[in-house]
A and B are shown apart, each in its own frame.
Chain A
């Protein structure tokens, strides 16, 4: 299995631009998680989905952030408009429903907003 796939791996953009991060979970996994990692705040859960349905988005920082999971093999995290404080590494993780304690993380997308 290819593992969790994230794209792009690196993104540099200017303040005010729209940014879209993509994630392909492991085939057969039906839970998907988006995390953000910064020096100041560490690792934070932004949102998670079960069977393509958002279950908890309480970690999404503000309305500029949105996440979708249109099907079982694809999810996006969008920031519009982006701000310098959004600079971070964004991780996607997936797990089997019934086995949420074993999450598989992608390699992350390193975002820099200038």
Chain B
């Protein structure tokens, strides 16, 4: 079984400041890793994913994440946030043998960008 821990439930940040959202996972098998964003009253949208290769992954809207296998982490970063980045962010993992079909989500991190 897999588990995902998002260490911060809420992160307030000022506009144009950097932000880092932390994600740690536990799994006895190899996994794919994902970050999703959920804007108010909307479904989830894929920000980025790590399947293999370079451990630094770039996604949409200027976000990037780094996979650290030794620390079982997949932290999400953005160097300069906008008001429109206010949303909830979910880290997720899926066993590679399940080919990404069985996502286990973290509890989410609410990002509030202040002017």
Contact = CB atoms under 8 A, between A and B. Distances in A.
Interface in A34-93: 42-45, 48, 55-56, 91, 93
A107 B43 contact: yes
A4 B45 CA distance: 12
B41 A107 contact: yes
Contact of A48 (B42, B51, B101, B104): B101
A105 B38 CA distance: 10
Contact of B105 (A4, A31, A43): A43
Contact of A105 (B44, B49, B106): B44
A45 B51 contact: no
A25 interface: no
A17 interface: no
A4 B46 contact: no
Contacts of A107: 41-43
A4 B90 contact: no
B51 A56 contact: no
Interface of B: 32, 34, 41-46, 49, 51, 90, 92, 94, 99-108
